[in-house]
Amino acid sequence: MSFFNSCSMCFSIVLSITLFGNAWAGQVVTDDIREWAKQAVMSEKSIETVSTANTLAVLNFLNRSGKEELAPLQKGLALMLITDLSIIKDLQVVERSKIQALTEEIGLGTSGLIEQGSAPRIGKLLGARRLVGGDIAGSVKDKIRVQSSLLDVQSTAVIGQPISEGVLEELFRVEKDLLFDIVKLLKIEVPPDLEAKLRKPCSSKTTALLALFTGVEASDRKDYEKAAESYRKALKLDSNICVANDALGELQALGLIAGNKRSGALLRSLRDSTSLTNQITPKDEIKHLPSPDQVPSNTGINVIFPGNDTVGTPIR
């Protein structure tokens, strides 16, 4: 490739990032990420257990409310928590796309409970010392009740189980209650400037949040045009909503929706250089393989935590 062509490509990437936001927003489960998940499972025995306490993964919540309209919150709550926790410099948070790829690779559905002893395995594969997840339940007077669980992978001990409830229109507040309880359980000091950032809601408009969550679900199903449509709807409802602009830019930059197709290799290089989970990428270089056939995106990891009375608190 000539110097001028190389410069032209770089300019194209920079322009894409400038116009459409963060081109490696971490919402698209690419073939490379799916290949990472496959190789992680295949080389599981050689992956070292993470002992660093500041590594954390937020898994999908499980909708136990019996209300289908609350299904988008399964990935939505996890998305909001990941977005907020990633602001904290003392934490290394696993990207949502890697978690999704791993759940697809393991092939566990929403009813596939696994044994208590499997929690350390999930943390090892994700490169995380702590796991966060929980349940979404219905409550009286149209309120939703969310119980989260924070698990220490190394000891398999449940550190705490924060609970928050409210009407659906207060979803942003419910998430913030869980967030600060989780931060407190992690014993992280939050100075005033950081607290101000964490207090800022992804959006106070529930309709915008639901549109965002719908976009993430569509993206996981490889329906990228529907994802883009949902992200645009979210931005129309709230121009300051978190994630949506970057996620839309990621689709554009990867050439998954209408627009100039960008260099996949260069985008992967940019993404790899900024990933919060580089430490869990297999050491050997992985050759690109074709992606598997369509995989249902509602797969999840349901971990039965020790100490629970019945089926336990699942983490998806």
Could you tell me the residue ranges of all domains in the chain?
Answer: 22-278+298-303
Q: What pLDDT sits at residue 202?
A: 98
Residues of the chain falling short of pLDDT 70: 1-25, 108-119, 140, 259-316
Are 219 and 27 spatial neighbours (Cβ–Cβ below 8 Å)?
Answer: yes
Are 132 and 315 spatial neighbours (Cβ–Cβ below 8 Å)?
Answer: yes
Q: What pLDDT sits at residue 227?
A: 97
In degrees rounded to 5, what are phi and psi of residue 177? -60, -45
Q: What pLDDT sits at residue 294?
A: 44
Are 25 and 252 spatial neighbours (Cβ–Cβ below 8 Å)?
Answer: no
Q: What pLDDT sits at residue 163?
A: 97
pLDDT in tens, 51-108: 788 999 998 888 889 899 999 999 999 999 999 999 999 999 999 999 888 888 887 5
**175-184: Cβ within 8 A, 24+ apart:** 175/77, 175/80, 175/81, 175/84, 175/201, 175/202, 176/201, 178/77, 178/81, 178/134, 178/146, 178/148, 179/80, 179/81, 179/84, 179/85, 181/148, 182/81, 182/85, 182/132, 182/148, 182/150, 183/85, 183/88
> What is the pTM for the complete model shown?
0.77
Are 124 and 151 spatial neighbours (Cβ–Cβ below 8 Å)?
Answer: no
Q: What pLDDT sits at residue 139?
A: 72
Q: What pLDDT sits at residue 49?
A: 73
**For domain 22-278+298-303, which architecture applies?**
3-Layer(aba) Sandwich (3.40)
pLDDT in tens, 6-39: 344 333 333 333 333 343 568 999 999 999 999 9
Enumerate the β-bridge partners of residue 130: 56, 152
